[in-house]
């Protein structure tokens, strides 16, 4: 219930201005977001690299209806990739991109504009020798995102995508994308989805995650196991052994600010661990999804709002 309220608030402009102007919000934002500037994303990547961790960097923003903002987001990624290269960090970081941040919802030919912007970002990633992963948004965009993935992979075969285990269709999508050369980031899913398309019971989502993970780990692609769930992390190790996969033929991924001790523990064991690092000033929707994931985060937030 609370989760649904928070997720619908994540798309409300009224709640957005309330939360953005609350003085206490900033410390909570800093727990999950690297900072507002390119410099902050590079600094955090450097810090992660020093701990043996990799990064996937997200320039925050989504659902833009402004062509100038979509172009600015594209340019921010291109600048970021250049800075990572200059700092010698391109081998430690890739970028994650939401198609709705680079124009998918612009009137007229939004999908085509987003695809063009995505190509520019892929070209910059190619120049510095790293990769791009397409984030997955709500279920209404899944087909279009997978179509964009196919288009991009024709020229940039290393482009990856996210699949969400809460969607009923995802086991089939995993089968389609489990082949050699494909990179799939499997997560549980963070949006408010109807029961017609998604499992709504957490245990059912977890069971589907396990089914999908088995498909990816048995396939020829590069599974990116994006979860903080200790049971799934343990299972991944068992599936790697069963499928004779060495560390580096798959990787663990977690969010910046969530279970950092587990991130370094796995890396110290020789596993490849990538941290999803968001930066920028458009943090509202991202923060609300992180609050919705964990009631304890919400309690902390409400207490701060009440000044306690």
Write each residue from 287 to 306 as x if it is in contact with ligand FDA (CB under 6 A), else as -, in one continuous string. Answer: ---x--xx--x---------
Taking CB under 6 A as the rule, does residue 254 contact ligand FDA? Answer: yes
d(CA 273, CA 276): 10
- Quote the Cα angle for 92-98-100, to 5°: 160
Quick one: which of 276, 279, 286, 301 contacts ligand FDA (CB under 6 A)? 276
Write each residue from 107 to 136 as x if it is in contact with ligand FDA (CB under 6 A), else as -, in one continuous string. Answer: ----------------------------xx
Token pair belonging to 133: 């992963």
CB of 181 to ligand FDA, least distance (A): 20
Name residue, tokens 């396939």. 219
**274 annotated active-site:** no
Taking CB under 6 A as the rule, does residue 193 contact ligand FDA? Answer: no
Taking CB under 6 A as the rule, does residue 285 contact ligand FDA? Answer: no
Nearest Cα neighbor of 212 from 282, 254, 165, 256 is 165
* Stretch of 18-26, 35-43, 65-73, 251-259 contacting ligand FDA, by CB under 6 A: 251-259
Quick one: which of 100, 182, 208, 227 contacts ligand FDA (CB under 6 A)? 227
CB of 72 to ligand FDA, least distance (A): 21
Taking CB under 6 A as the rule, does residue 228 contact ligand FDA? Answer: yes
- Quote the Cα angle for 153-205-216, to 5°: 35
DSSP per-residue string spanning 212-280 = HHHHHHHSSSEEEEE---HHHHHHHHHHHHHTTPPTTSSEEEEETTSSHHHHHHHHHTT--EEEEEEES
d(CA 190, CA 62): 14
52 torsion bin: left (phi>0), alpha (psi -120 to 50), beta (else) = left
Quick one: which of 19, 97, 115, 187 contacts ligand FDA (CB under 6 A)? 187
Residues that bind ligand FDA (CB under 6 A): 135-136, 162, 164, 185, 187-191, 226-229, 253-255, 258-259, 276, 290, 293-294, 297
């Amino acid at each position: 219930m609370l989760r649904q309220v928070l997720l619908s608030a994540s798309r409300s402009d009224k709640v957005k201005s309330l939360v953005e102007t609350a003085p206490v919000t900033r410390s909570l934002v800093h727990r999950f977001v690297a900072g507002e500037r390119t410099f902050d994303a590079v600094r955090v990547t450097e810090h992660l690299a020093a701990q043996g961790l990799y990064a996937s960097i997200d320039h925050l923003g989504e659902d833009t209806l402004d062509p100038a903002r979509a172009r600015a987001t594209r340019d921010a990624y291109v600048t970021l990739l250049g800075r990572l290269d200059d700092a010698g960090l391109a081998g430690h970081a890739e970028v994650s991109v939401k198609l709705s941040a680079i124009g998918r919802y612009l009137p007229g030919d939004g999908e085509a504009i987003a695809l063009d912007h995505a190509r520019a970002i892929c070209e910059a990633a190619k120049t510095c020798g790293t990769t791009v992963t397409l984030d997955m948004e709500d279920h209404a965009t899944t087909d279009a995102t997978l179509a964009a993935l196919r288009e991009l992979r024709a020229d940039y075969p290393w482009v990856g995508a996210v699949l969400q285990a809460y969607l009923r269709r995802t086991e089939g999508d995993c089968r389609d994308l489990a082949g050699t050369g494909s990179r799939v980031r499997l997560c549980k899913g963070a949006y408010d989805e109807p029961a017609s398309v998604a499992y709504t019971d957490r245990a059912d989502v977890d069971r589907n995650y396990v089914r999908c993970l088995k498909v990816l780990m048995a396939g020829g692609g590069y599974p990116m196991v994006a979860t903080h769930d200790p049971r799934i992390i343990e299972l991944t190790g068992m599936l790697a052994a069963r499928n004779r996969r060495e560390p580096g033929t798959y990787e663990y991924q977690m969010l910046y600010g969530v279970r950092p001790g587990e991130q370094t523990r796995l890396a110290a064991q020789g596993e490849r661990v990538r941290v999803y690092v968001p930066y920028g000033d458009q943090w509202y929707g991202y923060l609300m999804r992180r609050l919705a994931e964990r009631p304890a985060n919400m309690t902390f937030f409400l207490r701060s709002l009440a000044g306690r």
